Structure 1
């Protein structure tokens, strides 16, 4: 069972999200919070697998809560759920180490997929968000692409291949099947790549993979 903390300052939103997740059979909402401070404290106490955070909350917003969670509960994966898709929110969430970014107007199946991906150590962006990120990267300056390609020279050929598959949205199990490796070996490649590239998580790795041209 995937244990989730749900944080949103609107009780009706929390009720709606809980109703969706209660029907999955493999995802359980173990605690709810109405603001960022409460979310951090509940994560510290209950250690959920995934924290589903609204970006705009009183006292401490979702981005601030995610930053605190990196310090007090680094094992908790963070997925952002928001009404807003402005580029500054997307950039801040990804730079802050979020494993996923969803819009409240999205399909409920995206919510389930994002939580399952985050619990497995993978990354998930709602299609609309992914499209914006890819557009931004594909239209970016050549200098950024050059820097990204220089950064990935730190990796072995196998690690670069894994990075490209992370960028394509594959989980460790899917990468293992694609490369005919055991999952433990893939986890080691992923860990080494994130460490060498000084990346916080797989979302940042996926962004770098796009910038470096590793993803078609």
Structure 2
């Protein structure tokens, strides 16, 4: 049995949604809202002192990704359980976690929070096991696809041209940008996709393969 009250922290940038969750948690006798933030940087600053048992983290934030802030919080609070909140059915994120981390992470669609009971059950349940929204479970979790979604529109366009076999010079000419700009964007793309040269393939080829794979899935 989890200790009562369950200490809850919330990271959500939409004020109305944040207020709704705060109210639901505060009105539950088995829970206590101990911290709330609208940005990730504020969360990693104030949450550790509040010592929550569970942190609800919005996935997409103005100053970064809830997943990354969650990793930072887990370093400071090794017993913290995290529920990622998102509007996206395909999170493509949890495979990024080491095996030992996964029991501490759950994923809930914002649309799935259809009632107080759904939210409070998730908060209680995540302390015992990793929870995944039913709609999300039906989707294939693909870490590389998740990182692909983080690219800007121009980066995706450049990557699509790389996948089509175009050289940097040809891409620069087509997009009316300098070749060095193409090189810069590709460096950022490789970093975002977590690809690097190895003995069997290079970063350019690997990035193109990731893009082609995701296009087939979509």
Same fold (TM over 0.5): yes
Give the distance between the partners of 1:94 and 1:112, measured in 2 at CA.
Answer: 27
Please identify runs of 4+ aligned residues in structure 1 that moved more than 6 A.
93-96
Distance of aligned partners of 1:75 and 1:90 in 2 relative to their CA distance in 1, 3 Å threshold: closer
Aligned 8 A contact 1:54 1:82 in 2:
yes
| Higher RCO structure, 1 or 2 (CA under 8 Å, sep 6+) | 1
Counterpart pick for 1:63 among 67, 71, 93 = 67
User: TM-score, normalised on structure 1?
Assistant: 0.55
**Which residue of the partner structure matches residue 135 of structure 2?**
128
Aligned equivalents of 1:117, 1:77: Cα separation in 2:
10
Distance 2:38 2:60 in 1: 11
**RMSD (Å), alpha carbons:** 2.4
Equivalent pair of 2:10/2:56 in contact (CA under 8 Å): yes
Structure 2 residue runs without a partner (length 5+) = 143-218
Greater C-alpha radius of gyration: 2
Could you say which residue in structure 2 is the equivalent of 1:24? 28
Q: How many residues were matched structurally? A: 134
Shift of 1:69: 1.5
Structure 1 residues 18 and 94: CA distance shift in structure 2, 3 A:
farther
Aligned 8 A contact 2:89 2:136 in 1: yes
Counterparts of 1:94 and 1:11, CA distance in 2: 32
Per-residue deviation, 1:114: 1.5
Work out whether residues 93 and 101 of structure 1, in 8 Å CA contact, stay in contact via their aligned partners in 2: no
Is residue 116 of structure 2 the alignment partner of residue 112 of structure 1? no
